[in-house]
Amino acid sequence: MRFNPQTITVTDNKDRPYQIDALVAAQDDGTPVGLAVHPVYDLGPGPMTPRPDEYTLTHVPGGVRLHRSPVPTEGTACRWLELVAPLTDWTQPRETLYAFDTLRLRVWIARAHALTDCEEERDLRRSRPEPCPVSSFPMFRLEALTPLLEWISYGMEYVTLPQQARPALDALLDWHTELARQFNASLSLSAPFPVPPIVL
């Protein structure tokens, strides 16, 4: 993964555009990832100054942040980006990302993993443990699994998830992805679909 200094366009919650300096991610072969790391700025009419010890990820095509909560260092933000980069094709327009219902949870949990990895000074490029097969879990309903994963994500803000528990969490996320795919497939494609804000 490479991080190239570039100016990107971001938007506030009223879709007003602003130009900021960021580190835009690309694969080692130069392929754009569609994500960037940068300090959190107070966007407004006055001069834009970065907040101390607050860094975030932005979806470059959409110009919006991936998550409301920042991380304290640029290195942690880069690690977070490395963890979320494989989750989907981030070069897509932001509207196409809403079909991936589990994506919000995966970004949230990846943030907690990045904080833990950097706090413990682990190797940023270590291979992840083998995931548990989805079949090892009992059947869940989407409306039950979503709040469970949200509760786990919230708890990871305060309690470090043991390394040996990560494969089980990854398998739960895989199961949530499958349930969300089945749910989205059952929706009528002709029904109007309101576009929510992309903030995760």
List, for residues 35-88, the tens digit of each pLDDT value.
999 999 887 677 778 888 999 999 999 999 998 899 999 999 999 999 999 999
Domain spans, the chain: 2-186
Given this model, what pLDDT does residue 3 score?
95
Higher pLDDT, 200 or 149: 149
Q: Bridge partners of 28?
A: none
Q: Rounded distance, CA 183 to CA 174, Å?
A: 14
- Mean pLDDT for 122-144 is 52
Q: Rounded distance, CA 76 to CA 111, Å?
A: 9
180 backbone dihedrals φ, ψ, rounded to 5°: -65, -40
pLDDT single digits (tens) 74-97: 999 999 999 999 999 999 988 877
